[in-house]
Amino acid sequence: MTNSDKSQYDQSGVSSQGAETALSGLLNHVLPTRKFSSRYPLAADIGYFANVIDLGNGEGIAFGTDGVGTKVLVAEMLNRYDTIGIDCVAMNVNDVICVGARPVSMVDYIACSHTDPEVFTQLGQGLAEGARQSGISISGGEISQIKEIISGIDLIGACIGHVSLDKVNTGKDIKPGNLIVGLASSGVHSNGLTLARRVLLGETLEEQKSRVNDYEEFLDQTLGEALLVPTQIYVKPVMEMLDSGMDLKAMVHITSGGFCNLNRVECDNIRFVIDNLQPVHEIFNLIQDRGGVSEAEMFEVFNMGTGFCLIVEGDKEADAIAETCKTHNLSSQVIGQIEDFQGKEVFLPQKQLTGRGSRFSGS
């Protein structure tokens, strides 16, 4: 593969195809471990946003893990760490609610080259704020000083949630005619930061440090401030919908992979037609224009204004979602519908993009 054949994300140092190949090798060994814990079987297949452990008596614990990725580098450049804890909580709880579970508690893992009390105080502030927004506890964690391996810090979390086994949701009941409702994102969230930094700030870390405080009139803030906006947490509105008895056919976190994450639902022979896109944040336009990033790659790497999707029966449910979101100061709109299809794909007619698996291509 020549350099010109690579996507912008590949050239920035992140290989989506390489990650998929590596995952395949890992799963060859991990999947058989299901039989090692026959007393507590898994209630879903590996590959959804979180899994559920069957505890018996109809009760389950949802479990998932995620981190903030290279967003931590932006925090380091700005010497501001009080928001990435929110991101860490958000990336975990937003995954756990996808299976219909109520997030309960989380632990954090901080790998670091040094322990600066002020940095850790700010990390704690962000974790606490994320926990407050999600209604969860931080029940423990680990600090690992490994300066031989890491320069700076890395922040990762793992979250558990509670769900009755008859309420586990992996999107099996989606049908043609159902509507797709998008909940607005707050910005870049915690995916694609490697590409965003490279395009907006420069190729090297030194260049990025020198430009991170540049004021961008197009955004009405500095580039660093725009990249550091915390990830939106969707727990409270979605839990309110579930508690009200609303029939949510599927809940999908739009992270790495963009709208292709819709393809992770367990239902087959459907097409997600997204023909009414939510407003795109200006930072995405800036990334695309300055980096010459293709439409396909933008919708693969970034959320493009929609951070979470709900699949529902029809207009009645969509209207109820809008009312709930309004009370939480969250924008939502119907962004598309489900069509009958042989196979499974996401189609964006306005952009002429087709997403199969985790990749978009022009059609």
Asked if the structure places residue 57 within a domain, the reply is: yes
pLDDT of residue 21: 78
pLDDT range class, residue 22, cuts 50, 70, 90: confident
Shared domain check, 162 and 189: no
The reply to whether 73 and 97 lie within a common domain is: yes
> Residue 256 half-sphere exposure, CB side, CA atoms within 13 Å?
20
pLDDT of 74 higher than 80? yes
Asked whether the predicted pLDDT for residue 12 surpasses 80, the reply is no
State what percent of residues in the chain have pLDDT above 90. Answer: 88
What CATH code is carried by the domain that includes residue 256? 3.90.650.10
Cβ atoms of 276 and 337 closer than 8 Å: no
> Does 207 lie in the same domain as 120?
no
pLDDT at residue 17 above 70? no
**pLDDT tens digits, one per residue of 200-209:** 999 999 999 9
Domain count, the chain: 2
Q: Looking at the domain assignment, is residue 173 inside a domain?
A: no
The verdict on 156 and 267 lying in the same domain is no
The pLDDT of residue 11 is above 80: no
| Whether residue 184 sits in one domain with residue 98 | no
Amino acid 13: pLDDT = 54
E-assigned strand segments in 124-201? 137-145, 153-164, 179-184
Rounded CA separation 264/127 (Å): 28
Mean pLDDT (whole number) for 132-159: 97
Q: Are residues 192 and 99 in the same domain?
A: no
Query: What CATH number is associated with residue 52?
Result: 3.30.1330.10
Give how far Cα 51 sits from Cα of 184, 239, 249, 297, Å. Answer: 25, 18, 17, 28
pLDDT band at residue 27 under the 50/70/90 scheme:
confident
Quick one: average pLDDT of 301-327?
A: 97
Q: Is residue 150 domain-shared with residue 210, that is, in the same domain?
A: no
C-alpha 152: how far from chain center: 23
Is 6 inside any structural domain? no
Q: How confident is the model at residue 26 (pLDDT cuts 50, 70, 90)?
A: confident
Q: Let me know if residue 82 belongs to a domain.
A: yes
Q: Cα separation of 223 and 226, whole Å?
A: 5
- Residue 301 is assigned to a structural domain of this protein: yes
Non-local (6+) Cβ contacts of 266 within 8 A are 45, 48, 170, 171, 172
5: in domain: no
Please tell me whether residues 112 and 229 are part of one structural domain: no
Average pLDDT of the chain is 94
Asked whether residue 71 falls in the same domain as residue 115, the answer is yes
- Domain membership of residue 187 (yes or no) is yes
Confidence check: pLDDT of 4 > 60: no
pLDDT in tens, 160-186: 999 999 999 999 999 999 999 999 999
Say if residue 195's pLDDT is above 80.
Answer: yes
Q: DSSP H helical segments within 35-156, as ranges? A: 71-78, 84-96, 117-134
**124 and 207 share one domain:** no
In this structure, are 78 and 213 located in the same domain?
A: no
Range of the domain at 287: 179-362
CA nearest neighbour of 14 among 194, 208, 261, 207 = 194
- Taking CA atoms, 243 is separated from 31, 240, 249, in Å, by 33, 5, 14
Within a domain: residue 2? no
Give the pLDDT of residue 1: 43
Of 45, 46, 96, give the one whose Cα is nearest residue 66: 96
Q: How confident is the model at residue 44, as a pLDDT?
A: 85
